[in-house]
Amino acid sequence: MISAQEAKKILEEAELICSADKVSVIVKRMAGEIGAALGDAHPIVLSVMGGAVVFSGQLLPLLNFPLDFDYIHASRYGTETQGNSLQWKVMPKENVAGRVVLVLDDILDEGHTLAAIRDEILGLGAKSFHCAVFSDKDLGRAKPIQADFVGTSLPNRYVFGFGMDVRGAWRNLPAIYALKEE
C-alpha cells in the first residue's frame, strides 16, 4: 500500500497512453463486436476480479442481449512476485456446463492466468469459451492464449488505470497511464 502523496506523484509523472474519451470509444466498439458474435447465445459473462471490474461495469450496460453475469477471482501470485499454479479464490457460482462463457479481463499480459481460467472453465463442461480483454500488452512474443475480443494494444510498459493498479492505487482512473520510463 502506498500513501496518497506517493500515488499522486506517480500519476503526475506518468504518461497518458489512452485517454478517457478513447477508452469510451473502444468499449462501445467492443460491445458491438461481442453482440454480433454472441448476441444469440445467452452467455454467462464472468468478470475477473479485481482488475476487470471497471471494464465490466462500462461494457455490460452496452450489451443489448440477454446474459447471465457472475465473477471469478483467481491468482497465480498470492503473496509471491513470481507466478505459479492457479489458486481459485472464487469459482463461478453459475453452472457453466453446456453454456457459452465469456470471460472479461482488463489486460492480457503474459496470458498464463487467462489460459488457466480457460482450461478450468472448459474442464467444468462449458460449451465454448470466449474472452474479451480491454487491453493486450505487446510483449513481442507468443502467449498461451489469444483474446477473442481486444480493445487496444498497449506497449510493454507498466500501465495503470481503468482497472489496472500501480502498487494498489489508481484502478479508478478513467484513462490508462504508463509509469515514467527511467
CATH number at residue 41: 3.40.50.2020
pLDDT attached to residue 129:
98
Q: What's the rounded Cα separation, in Å, for the pair 143 and 108?
A: 9
- Assign 1 a pLDDT band (cuts: 50, 70, 90): confident
| Nearest Cα residue to 34 out of 54, 57, 59, 69 | 59
The Cα-based distances of 5 to 2, 11, 162 in angstroms read 8, 10, 20
- Assign 82 a pLDDT band (cuts: 50, 70, 90): very low
pLDDT attached to residue 93:
79
pLDDT attached to residue 151:
98
Q: Which residues are catalytic?
A: 109
Grid cell listed for 90 = 472464487
- By residue range, what is the domain housing residue 93? 4-178
How many domains are contained in the chain?
1
- Assign 79 a pLDDT band (cuts: 50, 70, 90): very low
